[in-house]
A = this chain, B = another copy of it.
Amino acid sequence: MTEAVNIEMIEAAAERLAGNARRTPLLSSPFLDEIAGRRVLVKPECLQHTGSFKFRGAWSAVSALPEDRRARGVIAFSTGNHAQGVARAAQRHGIPAVIVMPADAPKLKIANTRAMGAEVVLYDRVAGEDREAIGTKLAQERGLTLIKPYDEPLVIAGQGTIGLEIAEQAAAEGVTGGDVLICCGGGGLTSGIALALEARAPGLRPRTVEPEGFDDTARSLAQGRIARNERTSGSLCDAILTPQPGNITFPIMSRLCGPGLVVTDEEAQRAMAAAFNRLKIVLEPGGAVALAAALFRPEAVSGDAVVVIASGGNVDAGVYRAALERFGETA
């Protein structure tokens, strides 16, 4: 079966993103290398526009729409980072955006999405309201184009541009083999990066990292078919709590990714504190799980060097202070 995304689509996305998305650097610290027992190269997508990698996929999708369709506007459903990415991409294209968000999303994310000119529609995630149904209905009523958060080829292609950059930047550091650890929700980031690495850095192996209790991708990869999470809330890592891998993303991940890794919320907090002390970047819990795996599960990682995606930094100050209070002096 042909996959819905390929390297040509990722390269086309990279052209649309050039000058619009940031090319993030690769950061490192000898202190992190020592903890991990190998070189750790961190790709800080928290420094991307809107504070997470999601801007890439959003820009990729919005910029690829036919002009007349784009002018009618876009809609997205999201725990927050995709929302901000789509809102900003729409704002910079001068088109309307409606964002369907869970009522329990971080306040900062809701406020930011509104401040970027989007109309925010809240739904109750805990009560089991179906965000996809809400989004689809609004899209039909208003003629908006739905920008799905991960199971959408143009979005996956946009996230894949990170893989193109890693291929170049890791090679410049002399790293052409080893694991690439990727914070994983629905798999858009992972599958995009996996396709880019397959084409441009085949010695680098993509691996998913998820929070304990929400390891749908790790279980899906292990059993070769899509598995669901029992819960949809209850982890600090709000950004990556999706019910199951996507129908488009899973076959790609299944073909290209190594075994999935799982870390605890506490390890994510420790990684946030380590990133504070050693890299001077702000990570949200869900954006810190890949770094947590590199630092605290070194026996499950292979290679002399590991590349880590630090996928986002949109965290409420109170959550961040709590992580620093626990681990800021020791991480």
Contacts and interface: CB of A to CB of B under 8 A. Distances in A.
Interface stretch (A23-31, A119-127, A129-137): A23-31
A116 interface: yes
A65 interface: no
A280 to B, nearest CB: 3
Residue of A24, A116, A314, A324 most packed against chain B (CB within 10 A): A324
A177 B51 CA distance: 28
A97 to B, nearest CB: 15
The count of identical subunits is 2
Interface in A253-281: 273, 276-277, 279-281
Given A276-B317, A280-B281, A25 B27 contact: no
A115 B318 contact: no
A321 interface: yes
A187 interface: no
Given A31-B115, A115-B31, A47 B321 contact: no
Interface string A46-64: 1100010000000000000
A280 B277 contact: no
Given A27-B47, A281-B282, A282-B280, A328 B324 contact: no
Interface in A275-294: 276-277, 279-283
Closest 8 CB pairs of A and B: A317-B328, A280-B313, A280-B282, A46-B280, A317-B324, A321-B321, A321-B324, A51-B280
